[in-house]
Structures are given as structure tokens and as C-alpha cells.
Copies of this chain bind each other. A is one copy, B any other.
Amino acid sequence: MAERTARVAGSLRRRVYLALTGGLSGAGRLTATNKVIILLIVASIGFAIFESEEVVRGPNSWIFQVAETGFALAFAAEYLARLWTCAEEPRYRGFRGRLRFMLTPAALIDLLALAPLVFVAIGSEAFVLRVLQLVRILRLARIGRYSNAANAIRQAVRLRRYELAASLLAGLSLMLVAAAGLYVIEGTDQPDKFGSIPRAMWWSISSLTVGYGDVYPITVMGRIFASLVAVIGVALIAVPTGIITTAFAEVLSKAEAQASARPIARV
């Protein structure tokens, strides 16, 4: 009798395991359960975003409370289900195996993402919650786990990580030289903006990337120097783009070569 229960439970565990992880190994397809979880994550992020806006939350406070509780229960259930079914993989069997599973990055992110919801239930201080909202967004990282296409991008970045680091270093050096230059040239003209290298770095970083326009040189020398820096900066952006493109082409051609080299293994 107990044996039969165990067999039924084992078969149920297998089915839950496949429903939860079917998208990771094998054919790379998302199971229906996966899709429901993705929808729940997106919905909970959406709620977290609009909860922070007083205009939206104010009159609908109870909706957010109900939704928060619902998400907390759903994600807690998912976490427990993953913990229960991880024993389907031999390396996660037994007490030690379960512990090893709990310490995998994926499981830790799952647990961490649960935290803010539990804090809501306890009723902690507002500011703590506010900081934890950030952690909540880490749930997005779990969607990344489901995606197979992201791997090609990750491989391309890893393949040329030294070249990318070198071009990043070149960019940071340009930012530093630019900041030091304008600190020397305009430090006395606009002391609040270029009066020190860290202050001038806000100008150099923001103008080489975003371009807010809140800080800019006003002297002739400063403008000539800033123009030179800007032209070099635009040229520099071409370098990581070229590196990534070449790496991506290499990763894809390797993947194709592998796919055509083992036609039997695929059948």
C-alpha cells in the first residue's frame, strides 16, 4: 500500500518536474506551466511598478494587497514544488542534494525574489520594502533561464571578453582624460561643475553616453577640447560593435558546423 502511494507520488513528482523544467533540457520548448509562471512574473513586476506610484495606488490600495498575497502564495508554491521535484535529478537526491540545489544561483534568486512578498505579509517598515522592490525585479532574470536564444549572445560576449574589456578600458581612459582636461581648462570658470575630477567625470561620462546637457563647457578652449573628445568618443563606440558582430558571426557558424557534423546524433 505504502509502496503504491510512493509509486504514485513518484510518478506525480516526475510529472511536476517535467512541467517545471521541460523547457530547460531537451527540445527547448516552454511547457504550459512555464508560460503561466512567466505571465505571473511579468504581472507581479507590473504591480510592483504601479504600486510605487501614489496616484495609481492611493484609491486602489486593496487591489495591490490582494495581488501581493496572491503572488506570494503562487511563488512560494512554485519554490516548494521545485525543491520537492529536484530529487528527480540524481545529484540533488537526499538531504545534502536538496541543500546543494538550494544553493544553486537559480534557486537562490527564486528565494530572494520571494523575500519582499513575505515582508509585505509581516508588515515591515516602508523604506526597507522600497529597497527590496529592486530585488523583486531580479525575477526577470528567471525569464532569462527559459530563453535559449540568449545563449548565443552570452557565448559571443564570452568569446571576445578580452577584446571587449580592452575597448571598455579605452573608453574609460578617454572619460578620465576628458574629465582631467576640462578640470584643468574650466575648473576655475565653472567650479561647481568642473571644480574637481570626480565632478568633471559626471560631465565626461554622461556626455559620451547619454548626453543630458546639464553640464557643458563655456570657454573656447573647453569647447575645442570637448569637441575633440566627442569625435573620438563616437569613433570608439564603433569598436565594441565590430567586436560583438564578429563574435556573433563566429558563434553562429560554429553552431551550424556542429549541427551539420552530427546528423545521426540528432535523429
* Residues of A near any B CB (own CB < 8 A): 45, 48-50, 52-56, 130-131, 133-134, 137, 140-141, 143-144, 147-150, 152-153, 156, 162-171, 173, 176-177, 180-181, 183-184, 187, 195-199, 201-202, 205-214, 216, 223, 226-227, 230-231, 233-235, 237-250, 252
- B137 and A162 contact, CB distance less than 8 A: no
B residues near A147, Cβ cutoff 8 Å: 162, 166, 169
B residues near A199, Cβ cutoff 8 Å: 53
Q: How often does this chain occur in the complex, in copies? A: 4
B residues near A214, Cβ cutoff 8 Å: 213, 216
* Chain A contact residues: helix, strand, loop or mixed: helix
Partner of A177, one of B54, B134, B165: B134
Which 7 A-B pairs give the minimum distances between C-beta atoms? A149-B162, A53-B196, A209-B230, A242-B245, A213-B213, A242-B244, A238-B241
Return A84 CB to nearest CB of chain B, in Å.
29
- B184 and A165 contact, CB distance less than 8 A: no
- B162 and A148 contact, CB distance less than 8 A: yes
Return A46 CB to nearest CB of chain B, in Å.
10
